[in-house]
Structure formats: structure tokens, C-alpha cells
Amino acid sequence: MSTRCTISYDANDYHLYEECFDSDNVYLDLDGGRWAASLSSELIDWRKGEDTTRPSLHLRIDVTLWRTIIEGWLKSERAKESDLDHVSKEINFDGLNALFSSMKKPKQDSGKDDEV
């Protein structure tokens, strides 16, 4: 019998759940290839994993932190712009060069001759 209570689930990507008797945390299992992670710890040996072709990650997240993350996301401009998901951003170099040129201050003549 499982003690997991699913909050959100996708069979190919993730499982967000809570443990029935744990009111302090939520749990997020990421499975598949649409995420990446890095750790700065020499104590973890990733080579001991069973399946290196399909990575998985299990996170226990304090519920207060999780709420803060979600609330921050919902307030962000990025959350409101789903039409920009997976769209490559283009840089207008001509526009940037014009902006930088307009910011350059002309060198002012101090009126004094250079001393030799």
C-alpha cells in the first residue's frame, strides 16, 4: 500500500506528490530527458546509477519553499508568456551597436594645451 498522495503527474516526465503522514514536505520525481541537474559535490558518484540513458531525480522540498517557488513563478512575466516557450531568442546586433554608439560621450576639449 502506497502512502503517496499525487498532486500532479505525467507518466513520462514527473510525479509531484506528498506523503500522507508528512505535512512538512512535497516530493518531486523527475524522469526522462527534459531536465538537467548539476551538483557541486565530490561525495556523489553518478556512475552508480542503474540506467544512464534515462536519468531520474528525486527531490524532497520543504512545503514552504515549494509555495514560495510557485508563487514567484505565477507572479513572473515569464509565466504569463507561454507563447515564448521553446522559442529561440534572436539578438539584433545592429540595434545593440546603435544603442552603444548613442551612449558614447564625445570627448570634451579642456581648452588646455598638452604639456610636454
Residue-level pLDDT at 109: 60
Q: What per-residue confidence (pLDDT) applies to 23?
A: 93
From CA 90, how far away is CA 92, in angstroms rounded?
7
Identify the pLDDT of residue 88: 81
Residue 68 Cα distances to 61, 71, 74, 75, 110, angstroms: 11, 5, 10, 11, 55
pLDDT at 50: 55
This prediction has a pTM of 0.61
Find the length of the chain: 116
Q: Which residues of the chain have pLDDT under 70?
A: 1, 39-55, 105-116
Query: What was the pLDDT predicted at 93?
Result: 81
pLDDT given at position 15? 93
Q: Give residue 53's pLDDT.
A: 57
Q: For residue 5, what are the β-bridge partners? A: 18
Q: What is the DSSP letter of 58?
A: E
